[in-house]
Structure 1
Amino acid sequence: MVSHRIGSAVSLSYLDLIMFAANSSALRLQEIAADIKSISDYRIFPVILESILFALYTVLMIFYCLKYRQDRERVLAVFVVSICLFVMCATSWALDVWILSLELYRLVPGRLMNSGDLGDLPIGQAVDSLNGNLAFARDTCGAIVYVFCDYITLWRAYVIYGRPRWLKVVCISTFVFSCALYANDVALNFTASLSRPPSYATHLETFDHGAIVWGLSSTALATTAFAQVFSTVLIAREALIYRKELKTLLSPYRTSAGRHRLVAVLSV
């Protein structure tokens, strides 16, 4: 009887272990499925869309370079900034592809086989450990792209608007302020994604739920939005003024229906 009870207890313990292992495996598979879905939603589709847009951007840059060779009134500074902007975008795209390949060929297999540090760490820490440095480089390239976009947009508005002195001061002030904000954002915010982040970045990320870092990033993006909207408004205002002047100059020639249609086409 005693041996029978011992055998029953051992059998129950084995069954409990099997059930526990099955439940653990099921939970593990659910976590892995969630990780794969996250990679598919937030990595694969954005990289595909980014690749399409970058291909179109490459075609536009080739056309721009050909036009620049034929243009007699060349502006070397704008051309250099445009080339640097393209290089930064190309670097950012290449880093995104690299990060995606690491997650697909190293992170997912490591989580499936539960091997190494990638299988033991939580998903967030595993991602930072795997591609934190690459993410920092990509985010830095993105910040430089934003700064270059601000410069090009403000310069275009300044030239089209007639190069007034007050607009020059506004453009320079906005550009310098944007550079300072993005530099601080890179130093204080983006460094937290490094595989070995500095202590101050970790402290700022946890202090007050990251309110300081969030405010800094939001202010930097708001500066870029202001530069884009401000430049667009100035260019649109100048275009409307030109359209009104064109209509005024061509109004005496509206003597027939055909000329009226021609003037309408030219005005648009």
Structure 2
Amino acid sequence: MNSFRVLLFLILATLSVAAQTKKGDTIQDKKELKFDYKALIIPTLLISYGIIGKDHEDLLDFDTSFNHGVNNNHLRKFPIDEATQSLAIASVYGLNLIGIKGKNNFKDRTIIIATAGILVGATSLALKRSIDRQRPNGSGLSSFPSGHTATAFMGAEFLYQEYKDVSIWYGISGYAVAAGTGYLRMYNRKHWLTDVVAGAGIGILSTKIAYWTHPFLKQLFIKKEKSLSGSIAPYYNGEQYGLGMLMSF
């Protein structure tokens, strides 16, 4: 039940943003506030499959057979998934650095990916602690969901959103790397298929929420900047010289 509550919280948070978007008379750039409910379908299905599959008898059997097919008891590991999970995020900044500009400037895209990262981290941690699923290699009880896969798909969606107007192939390459990261998590016997599928959904949904909420966060910061005022003046108290500062909010 705890896992369903986490999923429900994410969806309700997204729908709340959508409701505010329709009322967004005070938001300056309404082009940024387009909300498409269809965008929830794929990540919600992925998360739902992972949550249902980890307890469903037939899906558990498929989970086990699929993982055995991927790993086939290979002893050799390929730990490059530690690096590939962040490759799409690094690519966004790298492309901007070489002059291929994306959708947002440095400040805005950093706020967006930080927001998505907080959502991924909080959701993954909550699910791991509430479910306590054993990893395929028996190394711990934090298998569900796959945090590496969630981070990889968070970055893939980030790369897609930033560069979809430049070329769709940036997004496709990001998702290909993310899928490869998920595959390696299973190959290295760190996660089951349902862990990886749920992680992918969490990553995609977290980035979408980050983009939908960004105009509100940005507007909030603008209001704070406008309401902030202050003054600096020298002072002398008979013994010491200095500067006094007065701030008002």
Is this a same-fold pair by TM over 0.5? Answer: no
TM-score range, shorter chain: 0.3 to 0.5
Instruction: Name which one, 1 or 2, has greater alpha-carbon Rg.
Output: 1
Higher strand share: 2
Which has the higher relative contact order, 1 or 2, with Cα contacts under 8 A spaced 6 or more apart? 2
What TM-score comes out, normalization by structure 1 length?
A: 0.30
